[in-house]
Structure 1
Amino acid sequence: MNADTIKTLIEQGLPGARADVRGDDGVHFEATVVCEAFAGKLPLARHRMVYATLGDRMGGEIHALALKTVTPDEDAR
């Protein structure tokens, strides 16, 4: 697994999302995801939305994913 693949999966799974994914050991990653669909949702719900785009890869190919999830307005601040 690599950061580019994770970025693609997140952006395809959350239409309109923009993801910046980093990680160089192949199993531990960190991502900032900006998505309008996060508006009005608590952080846990936002994280679940991102994890849903990755499916069974979480806990398998992706051992750990640290997330920062924000709306475009929050990102602009």
Structure 2
Amino acid sequence: MASITEASLREAITQRLGAIHVEVTDMSGGCGQAFTSLIVSPQFQDLKSLKRHRLVNTALKEEIAAIHAWTAKCQTPAEWDKERDTAAPSLDGTVGGHVEGTNQ
């Protein structure tokens, strides 16, 4: 198997799990041995956390076997929307992507 990258994991997750949003971060400083992820997929609906992780681990069996460490946060679209709506305000001066105090 070729080297595992953020992009290759993102593509595999999107295709195999029907994910609508995927964030993958290489936590190993670029050597491709430790990854963390956020996976948002309708396939997680009505599944408890353990079953969600088993689904991901099965879908990424070959990739996970080739790396040292893997962490996944698995959410349904509704859970992801709710978390984004209740997230702390941005520190970049924007609110909901708009600069506060302007009409933009």
With normalisation by structure 1, the TM-score equals 0.87
Mark the runs of 5 or more structure 2 residues left unpaired by the alignment.
Answer: 83-104
Match of 2:85 in 1: none
**1:70 equivalenced with 2:86 (yes/no):** no
Mark the runs of 5 or more structure 1 residues left unpaired by the alignment.
Answer: none
- % identity of equivalent residues: 28
Greater fraction of residues in helix: 1
Match of 1:30 in 2: 36
Q: How does 1:30-49 map to 2 (within 5 A)?
A: 30-49=36-55
Q: Secondary structure of 1:58's match? A: helix
The alpha-carbon distance between structure 1 residues 27 and 11, as it changes in their structure 2 partners (threshold 3 A), is same
Larger relative contact order (CA 8 Å, sep ≥ 6)? 1
Larger gyration radius, structure 1 or structure 2:
2
Match of 1:12 in 2: 15
Tell me the amino acid that sits aligned with residue 2 of structure 1. Answer: T
Distance 1:17 1:53 in 2: 16
Number of paired residues? Answer: 76
